[in-house]
């Protein structure tokens, strides 16, 4: 069973083609990492996949720009991952006074991400790395069949990034990420997808992708 | 649902390539004002301004705080009406803001805000008499139209990304969790600023009989008690100038509660029963229709109002407003350097700030009232009042922009008049033009209402119709006034877009 099958699709936004002839499959249990220069079209592809899957699967999303609400606390930003599970009145009450159960659950999650001390701070006061971890916390709190992440660990240091990816792997069977750290991508992925010159250049398990293949993506 | 980074909606930046040359727009407006000049009655009306000025000057130099009780009560009631009116307006505006894109809501808001507070007060008095509710609603009704518009713009201009990544969520949760928090800071700031405008509006409501500052000022003037008038004006300027001190977010609730209690305790003469019904079903029904439908009579009636009241009033309003607009622009452009470092010395800047604050604090209507006492009845007091007040506001806003520009100038930039002419004036010309175009609509609104002081603008005819208890005619004239305001607003927006003269949100919002 595959979750997703794109066949020879043309992707873009605003009438501008970014990627053409895109074919991509995603099966449960796979961890697919997209590689490519910035501007190559990774975000476009992630957006297209999210657009296809979100209506029928529970998808957790970590967008590149985090998309947090700076005025709200870490706790409430994290809780936002589950707003669609409840009705408007419940959410209104929760906004004014988060339920104890949600607070306890989020606190446990934030503890593993090293953010427990900041649970009641407005997100606007946090550093870039902390904000990115809040965006991850929101996706983790949401849970689901699949996590789609656009450079989800780009703003934290390498050791922390490794820990976060391990946590991600433990929580989600299936994931589709864009990463820029090649070593980290090799260690994490079950499949690497290279994007360059407006198309998918390779799509294979890490062992079958050579360093030269990857280097070719990043040279003009 | 796009997850690619989406930028915050771009605002127009002044100075880009534009369809309408700015110089041509300015020339056109100057030409219009010159054309209007021969029609303007700028005479001194046989008045000897120096004698009046001397009498007043003597009184003003010796402020008399003897009537402290009456002054204190007028000031406190001014604050109370402003707090209640603005709070009600902001609350209703907030409730309408998410629906502002619906045409019905938008048009309702345009209609509400195109009628001046004083006109609202005059109409509401026909139904409720001089009661506290009349004053509160006179402020709240136009303000809710303004709040709805500004709040909805602030919501649109806030970062949209958090709501875009939200999974399918009901609209209320989406609004409260991912939209409202982002705009809340801007909304709070705007509401507090708007209270300052509300204080001016509240003071002016006194001139039509509500127990606020204008009423007390008017009664001191009538008996020639210039010392007491001086005292009350000093208190008023101090109140507005110190607004940042006494109006803090934490104090908003206590002020509001105190205001509500004060207004609730005012006893007002009861209106006869059925006043509202009579107003709606008889008074405002066009007189030819009161005994059944008669299309021909209605047309004749409307034609009569148009020929003898609406069009002459409109013409006089435009004559005054266009001349005042050019004078406003000239004062603002020449004057904004007064408060900018590197242009003016520290002492000069202090004096500049002082005079701008005083001119800003006094509403156009109140200034016109003062000038009328000195210069006698003509269009001159109105033009001067409009130009000084609006010029001071634009100069203040431009000067603040200039303050932020000065540190960015190259180290060897000139000083004084040279830096004003070579560095600041060219950079600020776009915002200057935009601000003048914004104030154009406001100047027209205020000009129309100055008719209540006896100048032959639209308000004069509204006032006469009300005095003759012909409310149906008053309503037609108010609709004409509203259409004029809304039309000028649309024209101003078109010109601003055409000349690319845009403004940052923050300075635009500070423009009441």
pLDDT tens for the 512 residues of chain B, in order: 334 333 333 344 444 444 678 888 999 999 999 999 999 888 876 667 788 788 888 888 888 888 888 889 999 999 999 999 999 999 999 999 999 999 999 999 989 988 899 999 999 998 888 899 999 999 999 999 999 999 998 898 888 888 888 888 888 888 889 888 999 988 998 898 899 899 999 999 999 999 999 999 999 988 888 888 889 888 888 888 888 888 888 888 999 999 999 998 888 777 777 778 888 788 888 888 888 888 888 899 999 999 899 999 999 999 999 999 999 999 999 999 999 988 888 999 999 999 998 898 889 999 999 898 888 888 999 999 999 999 999 999 999 999 988 887 766 667 787 778 777 888 888 889 999 998 999 999 999 999 999 888 999 999 999 888 888 999 999 999 999 988 998 899 889 888 877 666 555 555 45
Nearest CA in chain A to B4: A43
User: Which residue among A47, A84, A86 sits closest to B3, beta carbon to beta carbon?
Assistant: A47
What's the Rg (C-alpha) of chain A?
A: 18
Q: Mind telling me how many Å the CA of A207 is from chain B's nearest CA?
A: 30
CA distance B30 to B325: 9
Contact list, A54 vs chain B (CB under 8 Å): 1, 167
Contact B5 A50 (CB under 8 A): no
**B207 neighbors B373 (Cβ within 8 angstroms):** no
CA distance B310 to B298: 16
- As a three-state string, the secondary structure of B10-52 is CCCCCCCCCCCCHHHHHHHHHHHHHHHHHHCCCCCCCCCHHHH
B266 SS3 class: coil
**A173 neighbors A58 (Cβ within 8 angstroms):** no
Question: What percentage of chain A carries pLDDT values higher than 70?
Answer: 100
Q: Mind telling me how many Å the CA of B159 is from chain A's nearest CA?
A: 8
Contact B172 A88 (CB under 8 A): yes
Sign of CA dihedral B68, B73, B74, B80: positive
CA distance A128 to A123: 10
Residues of B with CB under 8 A from a CB of A: 1-5, 159, 161-162, 164-174, 176-178, 181-182, 184-185
Contact list, B176 vs chain A (CB under 8 Å): 91-92, 95
Contact list, A56 vs chain B (CB under 8 Å): none
Contact B5 A65 (CB under 8 A): yes
Sign of CA dihedral A51, A52, A58, A62: negative
Q: How long is chain A?
A: 220
**B462 neighbors B454 (Cβ within 8 angstroms):** no
Contact B173 A92 (CB under 8 A): yes
For testing contact with chain A, the best of B1, B2, B3 (most A CBs within 10 A)? B3
A35 SS3 class: strand
A210 SS3 class: coil
* B15 φ/ψ sector (left φ>0, alpha ψ -120 to 50, else beta): left
CA of B200: how far to CAs of A187, B104, B197, in Å?
68, 30, 5
For B369, half-sphere exposure in the C-beta direction (CA atoms, 13 angstrom radius) is 24
Strands in A146-150's sheet, in edge-to-edge order, are A59-62, A146-150, A174-178, A31-35, A191-196, A199-204
Q: Which of A198-207, A208-217, B156-165 has the lowest mean pLDDT?
A: B156-165
Non-local CB neighbours of B390 within 8 Å, separated by 6+ positions? B324, B328, B332, B364, B439, B442, B443
CA distance B221 to B355: 23
With b for 16 or more beta-carbon neighbours within 10 A and e for fewer, the B59-87 pattern comes to bbeebbeebeeebebbbbbbbbbbbbbbb
| Interface contact A142, partner B, CB < 8 A | yes
Contact list, B5 vs chain A (CB under 8 Å): 43, 63-65
Quote the Cα angle for A130-A136-A139, to 5°.
150
Contact B1 A54 (CB under 8 A): yes
What's the mean per-residue pLDDT of chain A?
Answer: 91
CA distance A129 to A135: 10
Nearest CA in chain B to A59: B167
Contact list, B184 vs chain A (CB under 8 Å): 71
pLDDT at A126 over 70: yes
Sign of CA dihedral B151, B155, B156, B157: positive
Q: Mind telling me how many Å the CA of B403 is from chain A's nearest CA?
A: 27
**B144 neighbors B120 (Cβ within 8 angstroms):** no
CA distance A216 to B45: 88
User: Which residue among A46, A84, A86 sits closest to B3, beta carbon to beta carbon?
Assistant: A46
Contact B177 A13 (CB under 8 A): no
This prediction has a pTM of: 0.80
What pLDDT shows up at residue A220? 63
* Residue A21 DSSP one-character state: E
Contact B3 A61 (CB under 8 A): yes
Grade residue A62 by pLDDT with cuts at 50, 70 and 90: very high
Contact A68 B162 (CB under 8 A): yes
Tokens of B265: 């305790």
User: Which residue among A47, A69, A76 sits closest to B4, beta carbon to beta carbon?
Assistant: A47
| Interface contact A212, partner B, CB < 8 A | no
Sign of CA dihedral A198, A200, A206, A210: negative
Q: Mind telling me how many Å the CA of A97 is from chain B's nearest CA?
A: 13
| Interface contact A72, partner B, CB < 8 A | yes
Q: Mind telling me how many Å the CA of A171 is from chain B's nearest CA?
A: 19
């Amino acid at each position: 069973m595959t979750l997703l099958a794109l066949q020879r699709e043309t992707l873009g936004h605003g009438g501008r083609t970014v990627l053409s002839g895109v074919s991509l499959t995603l099966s449960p249990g796979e961890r697919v990492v997209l590689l490519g220069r910035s501007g190559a079209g990774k975000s476009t592809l992630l957006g297209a996949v999210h657009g296809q899957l979100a209506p029928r699967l529970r998808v957790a999303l970590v967008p590149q720009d985090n998309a947090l609400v700076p005025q709200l606390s870490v706790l409430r930003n994290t809780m936002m991952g589950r707003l669609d599970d409840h009705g408007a009145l419940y959410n209104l009450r929760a906004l004014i006074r988060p339920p104890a159960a949600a607070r306890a659950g989020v606190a446990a999650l934030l503890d593993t991400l090293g953010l427990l001390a900041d649970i009641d701070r407005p997100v606007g006061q946090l550093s870039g790395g902390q904000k990115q971890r809040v965006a991850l916390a929101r996706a983790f709190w949401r849970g689901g069949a699949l996590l789609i992440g656009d450079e989800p660990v780009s703003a934290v240091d390498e050791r922390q990034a490794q820990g976060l990816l391990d946590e991600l792997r433990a929580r989600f069977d299936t994931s589709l990420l864009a990463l820029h750290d090649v070593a980290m991508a090799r260690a994490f992925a079950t499949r690497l997808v290279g994007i360059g010159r407006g198309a998918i250049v390779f799509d294979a398990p890490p062992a079958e992708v050579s360093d030269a293949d990857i280097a070719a993506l990043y040279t003009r | 649902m796009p997850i690619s980074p989406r930028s915050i909606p771009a605002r127009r930046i002044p100075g880009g390539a534009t369809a309408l040359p700015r110089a041509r727009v300015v020339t056109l407006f100057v030409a219009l004002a010159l054309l209007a000049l021969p029609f303007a009655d700028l005479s001194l009306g046989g008045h000897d301004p120096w004698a009046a000025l001397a009498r007043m000057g003597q009184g003003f130099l010796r402020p008399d705080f003897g009537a402290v009780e009456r002054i204190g009560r007028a000031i406190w009631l001014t604050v109370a009406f402003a707090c209640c009116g603005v709070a009600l307006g902001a609350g209703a505006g907030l409730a309408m803001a998410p629906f502002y894109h619906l045409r019905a809501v938008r048009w309702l808001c345009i209609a509400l805000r195109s009628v001046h507070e004083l006109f609202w007060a005059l109409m509401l008095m026909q139904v409720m008499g001089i009661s506290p509710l009349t004053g509160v609603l006179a402020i709240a009704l136009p303000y809710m139209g303004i709040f709805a518009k500004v709040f909805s713009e602030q919501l649109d201009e806030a970062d949209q990304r958090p709501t875009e990544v939200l999974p399918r969520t009901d609209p209320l949760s989406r609004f409260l969790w991912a939209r409202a928090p982002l705009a809340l800071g801007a909304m709070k700031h705007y509401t507090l600023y708007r209270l300052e405008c509300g204080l001016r509006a509240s003071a002016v409501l006194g001139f039509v009989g509500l127990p606020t500052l204008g009423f007390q000022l008017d009664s001191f003037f009538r008996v020639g008690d210039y010392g007491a008038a001086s005292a009350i004006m000093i208190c008023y300027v101090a109140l507005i100038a110190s607004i940042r001190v006494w109006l803090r977010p934490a104090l908003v609730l206590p002020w509001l509660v105190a205001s509500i209690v004060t207004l609730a305790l005012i006893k007002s003469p009861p209106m006869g029963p059925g006043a509202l019904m009579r107003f709606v079903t008889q008074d405002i029904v066009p007189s030819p229709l009161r005994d059944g439908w008669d299309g021909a009579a209605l047309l004749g009636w409307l034609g009569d109002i148009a020929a003898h009241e609406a069009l002459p009033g409109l013409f006089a309003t435009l004559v005054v407003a266009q001349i005042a607009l050019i004078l406003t622009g000239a004062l603002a452009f020449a004057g904004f350097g007064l408060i900018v470092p590197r242009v003016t010395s520290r002492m000069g800047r202090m004096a500049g700030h002082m005079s701008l604050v005083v001119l800003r604090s006094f509403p156009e209507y109140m200034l016109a009232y003062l000038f009328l006492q000195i210069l006698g009845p003509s269009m001159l007091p109105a033009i001067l009042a409009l130009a000084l007040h609006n010029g001071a506001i634009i100069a203040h806003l431009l000067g603040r922009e200039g303050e932020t520009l000065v540190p960015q100038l190259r180290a060897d930039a000139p000083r004084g008049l040279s830096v004003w002419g070579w560095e600041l004036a060219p950079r600020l010309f776009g915002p200057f033009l935009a601000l003048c175009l914004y104030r154009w609509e406001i100047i027209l609104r205020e000009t129309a209402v100055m008719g209540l002081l006896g100048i032959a603008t639209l308000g004069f005819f509204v006032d006469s119709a009300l005095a003759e208890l012909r409310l149906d005619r008053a309503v037609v004239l108010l609709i004409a006034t509203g259409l004029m305001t809304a039309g000028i607003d649309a024209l101003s927006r078109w010109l601003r877009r055409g000349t690319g003269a845009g403004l940052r949100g923050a300075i635009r919002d500070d423009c009441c």
